[in-house]
Structure 1
Amino acid sequence: MVVYAISIYCSITNDDSNLLVHEYMPNGSLWDRLHTYKKAEMDWNVQYKIAMGAAKGLEYLHHGCDRPVIHQDVKSSNILLDEEMKPKIAEFGLAKIMQTNKVTNSSHVIAGTYS
């Protein structure tokens, strides 16, 4: 099964900082691709693969995990691209891990960042 969320290898914490070590994504972020000269390298097939992969990543986080993960900050700079241009959702700083027995249909909290 292909998982469209970034793999975290370890976390490093101390009094001054918190760091996550994740898999290397050599093609940078989707934002980088959309806003640089590399945009021309993304034909319709690649764009479709990225869109479908991002959607599958969200579906996995919401329904494929033992405890659903609500990302709350999906944007092009948080979608990273591997060597085959497969997208993986990254940056879980605002994410919420839900209880499996709680189901909600709406939220009154707005979260996210703008870049």
Structure 2
Amino acid sequence: MIDNETLPVEYLGGNPLCMNQYYQVLSSCRIPGIKKDSVVNHALSNRPPTYITVVHNFQFFVLDVYNRDGTPLTVDQLYNQLEKICTSSLETKNEPIGILTSNHRDSWGKAYANLIK
């Protein structure tokens, strides 16, 4: 609905809000840094995101929100993926990397820098 601009306009005090706010909020992520975090927005990139990141049980997962042909997934398709994520996160033997995000920003920033190497 956002991409094809069919989402109804929201109003505040009788005034329409700018609907571009959804691209700012839903296509942004915070990248941890050692002294300062940064915010990256992917809405205007050549290849906008087709997935969201889901964190469950301190594990990170990719949840696709579009089909290969570019059409949005149905609610049932999204629900099925979420069920698989919940099951997988409880059965995994992987280290709970997500717990690092609860550290102080500087130590999480250092850990993140090491993880992406």
- What range describes the TM-score normalised by the shorter chain of this pair? under 0.3
TM-score, normalised via structure 2 length: 0.26
> Of the two, which has the highest radius of gyration?
2
More helix by share: 2
